[in-house]
Amino acid sequence: MTRHTPHRPRRAPAAPIRLVPDSLAFAIDTAAALIEGVIDGKALTEMQHTARIAELPAPVRGAVLDLTYGSLRAYGRGDAILLRFLSKPLPTRLRAILLVALHRLATRPDTAHTVVDQAVTAIGAHAPGLKAVANGVLRNVLRQGPALDATLDSQVQSRHCHPDWWVEKLRRAHPDDWAEILTAGNQHPPMALRANLRRLTPAQAADALAQAGLTHRRLDNGAFLLDTPVPVERIPGFFDGHFSVQDAGAQWAAPWLAPRPGERVLDACAAPGGKSAHLLETGDIALTALELDPVRARRIDDTLGRLGLQARVLVGDSRRPDSWWDGTPFDRILADVPCSASGVARRHPDIKWLRREADIAGFAAQQAAILNALWRTLAPGGTMLYVTCSIFDDENSEQISRFCARHSDAKRVAIQGRLEHKLLPNAEHDGFYYALLEKAG
């Protein structure tokens, strides 16, 4: 006689949890959505726009962005931890939630219980059946503590939170400074302001910042370095064009190009317009701002409009002057060329993980094409300031050496006693490269 097992109805899957918008779980999950996009190969700025992060309430937006940027800076370490503790790969969104939680545990160990609880809650919003897995991973990390740190510190990528190839390239280019550069690349970037000297004097600017409670110090190039970054809403007169947010390293471009009143000046690759505006603030010049991308070109108009400045804004390819140049030579050219952006990776931490070593050669070729094309638009006796926000020699010293070898009428000109300036990322500024070239008359 056959024995029948009583039928038991199958339990319905647990309903997904709806996250409370002002909860840590919501912030973790929203940050994870941005990181998921980066893991899939999309730029962080693109993801922020798609996810409409700007529309979130200010406190929530701040929490989401802090978690996102911090987690991406520490991605190399978090990824190594998950490879160690996960026996099977998780869907990308869940993996990103754990990456955010790991960053939060590392930076806020005093809130470990809350972080684990809220991260598990965020996992539950997508896969309730995997809450136990997430809880186990995070608690294992907490239990292993110093022993886990020692293991991670023995590996290049997880110790420095940069790709292996990036670390090795820096070691070759900057044998004495590479470790400090990597450390700086994992920190929060500084915030510097530029006063619009057409609206107020340096003394008036300093006084306005002091009255607004923004403690700061003035750097050699006139930049105001804030002790603590703040939202632009707290900057006095920002929307009236009194100040601009611009990294202190970028504020060397205008004084080092040093155009004289009445000169024709070209800012190639000009968007979003910060350097164009700085040039216009320092003197009466005839400025042309060139930008390849029409959408980014509109940002130049916005920047100049806020500051009460005017320039000729053109959409065009700097490599093809015949499509936009009127044939009248420029006295000065600012060639702030596209590059790997390796010097500003702490502001754009997705760069570290989206770039590939092979990309550097591509940028170098693009830079060479831009320099060759722009050189013929420069008047004899005129000067061109070459600028990158890269810290890789392929795009900097080697690029300029190759250019001078190709052009016998190009002469390197010293800036403050040096033929080139390599500004490495530190507590005051991001990483930049500057070299000044003069065309034989």
Q: What's the burial of 369, exposed, middle or buried (CB within 10 Å: 0-12/13-18/19+)?
A: middle
The reply to whether CATH 3.40.50.300 applies to domain 191-246 is no
Q: How far apart are CA 257 and CA 209, in angstroms?
A: 28
Catalytic site residue from 161, 339, 389, 404:
389
Question: In sequence order, what are the residues at sequence separation of 6 or more whose Cβ sits closer than 8 angstroms to the Cβ of residue 62?
Answer: none
Coil, strand or helix at 44: helix
pLDDT, block means (10 residues), the chain with 441 residues? 38 60 95 96 94 94 96 96 94 97 96 97 96 96 94 94 96 94 95 97 98 97 97 96 98 98 97 97 96 95 97 97 96 98 97 96 98 98 98 97 98 97 97 98 83
Q: What phi and psi values does residue 411 have, to the nearest 5 degrees?
A: -125, 135
Q: Is 161 a catalytic residue?
A: no
Specify the fold of 24-156.
Answer: N-utilizing Substance Protein B Homolog; Chain A (1.10.940)
The fourth-level CATH superfamily of domain 162-188+247-441 is Vaccinia Virus protein VP39 (3.40.50.150)
Q: Compute the Cα dihedral for 367, 368, 372, 373 and give only its sign.
A: negative
Q: How far apart are CA 92 and CA 95, in angstroms?
A: 5
Return the pLDDT at 17: 64
Question: In sequence order, what are the residues at sequence separation of 6 or more whose Cβ sits closer than 8 angstroms to the Cβ of residue 258?
Answer: 332
The domain locations on the chain are 24-156, 162-188+247-441, 191-246
Give the relative orientation of helices 58-73 and 75-85 as an angle to the nearest 10 degrees: 70
Closest CA to 312 of 270, 281, 260, 274: 270
Q: How far apart are CA 30 and CA 247, in angstroms?
A: 28
Return the pLDDT at 16: 53
Measured CA distances, 3 to 6, 7, 75 (Å): 10, 12, 56
Q: How far apart are CA 186 and CA 203, in angstroms?
A: 34
pTM score: 0.92
Q: What is the DSSP string of 314-361?
A: EE--TT-GGGT--SPPEEEEEEE-----GGGTTTSTHHHHH--HHHHH
* 214 in Cβ contact with 220 (< 8 Å): no
